[in-house]
Amino acid sequence: MRAVVWHGRRDVQVDTVPDPTIHEPTDAIVRVTSSGLCGSDLHLYEVLAPFMTSGDILGHEPMGIVEAIGSSVTNIAVGDRVVIPFNISCGHCFMCDQGLQSQCETTQVSEQGCGAALFGYTKLYGQVPGGQAELLRVPHADYGPIKVPDGPADDRFLFLSDVLPTAWQAVQYAAIPKGGTVAVLGLGPIGDMSARIARHLGAGTVFGVDLVAERLARAKSNGVEVFDWSSFDKPADLVEAIKAQTGGRGPDAVIDAVGMEAHGSPIAKASHAATAVLPGTVAAKLMRKAGTDRLAALHLAIDLVRRGGTVSVIGVYGAMTDPMPMMTMFDKQIQLRMGQANVRRWVDDIMPLLVDDDPLGVDTFATHHVALADAPSAYSMFQAKSDGAIKIVFQP
């Protein structure tokens, strides 16, 4: 089969690799019909390269048609149309019973000190071959796959793999009061969808912050009050501009949908760059023990949120020695929630919004549909944010 394969920093290629096969009775093989390119994939493209191995198959947002099932899989059948959650969970351990599928005790990558295994995502999360491929082996297929109806195009359901539950969790964790205010930092796919969901669930005003013109325009067209981060001389000016719209207090909640790729931290940027010139094992140890993230977005969220408000972090962070303004957080009584999305926890809440009308605009959410063969140029385009690329979908 053909698959998108990592060969090095900023080097992905489409290679011919062996077809996957059934290993366990709970496995399934899915013929992939669509697979998203996620902002988290860009972390592998560059920042998290020390945790990658040449030959790793990328991608964690797939859907397709079931081609084969193991003997213990009874919830899906050959020919079914399914979406595959990005985290791999068993559905019956303590953590899964708590609705914390991203912490599944059966698939936890304990040797790395990390949570549930993920498709296509580094040694830290199990090094499981991903879904930017023609075929995908799905472990724990007796629980994970989400069966969806035939009929609508893939885009109606594809984002159940990651974007929709991730954004839904971000909004739920933000605990926005009915009619309240929320600021979303970063209007890429997750931030954009978080803003849509917040409005759908009853937020009174949604503020959106980004510095890419196409993202700002798209959010504005969906009723978001947008602020161009690049038009302010310093973060404090942006904070004051948004506070002025909230009685001087700041929004009830802030969603950080940016994570480690934030602009505005030259020291952290230098630490990321340093890993590029070190041997892989040394660079990995540096990031695990002494790495720092670009925390501009998180610090902005803490400054911006009103006293007693909530900061919901859904953007990915990956270092271990990040300095946090603990005095400010304590003094303001900020509630802070974060974590990988627990995909299966939110599916029943989201599915009714996909099977009739399209209130969240998923049918037109992707800006680009490209052939799998064009993956190298798509990764480059997405990282550069060129050609209006906000959400890219591969079609094998």
Residue 276 CA neighbour count, 13 Å, CB half: 13
Q: How far apart are CA 272 and CA 277, in angstroms?
A: 10
Mean pLDDT, residues 47-66: 92
Helix, strand, or coil (residue 184): strand
Query: What are the structure tokens assigned to 198, written together?
Result: 């917040």
Phi and psi angles of residue 67, each rounded to the nearest 5 degrees, phi first: -100, -35
| pLDDT tops 80 at residue 318 | no
Q: 190-204: per-residue pLDDT in tens?
A: 999 999 999 999 999
pLDDT of residue 262: 46
3-state secondary structure of 361: coil
Strand-strand pairing, 181-185 and 205-210: parallel
Task: Read off the tokens for 70.
Answer: 């193991």
pLDDT tens digits for 98-145?
999 999 999 999 999 999 999 999 899 999 999 999 999 999 999 999
Name the one residue in this structure whose structure tokens are 């070190």. Answer: 278
CB atoms within 10 A of CB 381: 18
Token code pair at residue 310:
């909530």
- Assign a CATH topology to domain 164-338: Rossmann fold (3.40.50)
| Alpha-carbon torsion (93, 44, 129, 138), positive or negative | positive
Cα–Cα dist 210/362, whole Å: 21
The pTM assigned to this predicted structure is 0.92
As a whole number of angstroms, the distance between CA 253 and CA 255 comes to 7
Distance CA 271, CA 145 (A): 38
pLDDT at residue 270 greater than cutoff 90? no
Percentage of the chain beyond pLDDT 70 is 91
**Strand intervals (E) in 263-340:** 310-313, 335-338
CA proximity to 350, closest of 189, 170, 139, 176: 170
Contact by Cβ (8 Å): 29, 22: yes
Whole-number pLDDT of residue 319? 65
Confidence of residue 271 (pLDDT cuts 50, 70, 90): very low
Q: DSSP strand E in 74-175: where?
A: 81-83, 135-138, 146-147
d(CA 215, CA 186): 9
Nearest-5° Cα angle at 188, 184 to 192 = 55
Mean pLDDT for all residues in the chain: 91
Which of the four pLDDT bands, split at 50, 70 and 90, describes residue 94? very high
CA 396, CA 387: separation in Å to the nearest integer? Answer: 22
Decide if pLDDT at 286 tops 50. no
pLDDT at 276 over 70: no
CA distances from 153 to 150, 164, 363 (A): 8, 16, 8
Q: How far is CA 380 from CA 41, 54, 238, 330, 374, in A?
A: 11, 18, 30, 41, 10
Residue range 2-162+342-395 forms a domain whose CATH class is: alpha beta
pLDDT of 185 higher than 90: yes
266 — pLDDT class (breaks 50, 70, 90): very low
Can you spell out the DSSP letters for 137-154? EETTTTTS-EE--SSS-T
Rounded CA-CA distance 173/279 in Å is 39
Q: Cβ neighbours of residue 185 under 8 Å, at least 6 residues apart?
A: 191, 209, 254, 255, 256, 257, 258, 297, 300, 301, 315
3 state SS of 200: helix
Confidence check: pLDDT of 250 > 80: yes
The pair of three-digit structure tokens given for residue 133, joined into one six-digit string: 């491929």
Cβ–Cβ under 8 Å, residues 139 and 88 = yes
pLDDT band at residue 48 under the 50/70/90 scheme: confident
What is the CB neighbour count within 10 angstroms for residue 357?
8
343-350 and 163-174 are packed helices; what angle lies between their axes, rounded to 10 degrees? 90
Whether the CB-CB separation of 322 and 256 falls below 8 Å is answered with no
Domain boundaries, the chain: 2-162+342-395, 164-338
With tokens 């290993």, the residue in question is 23
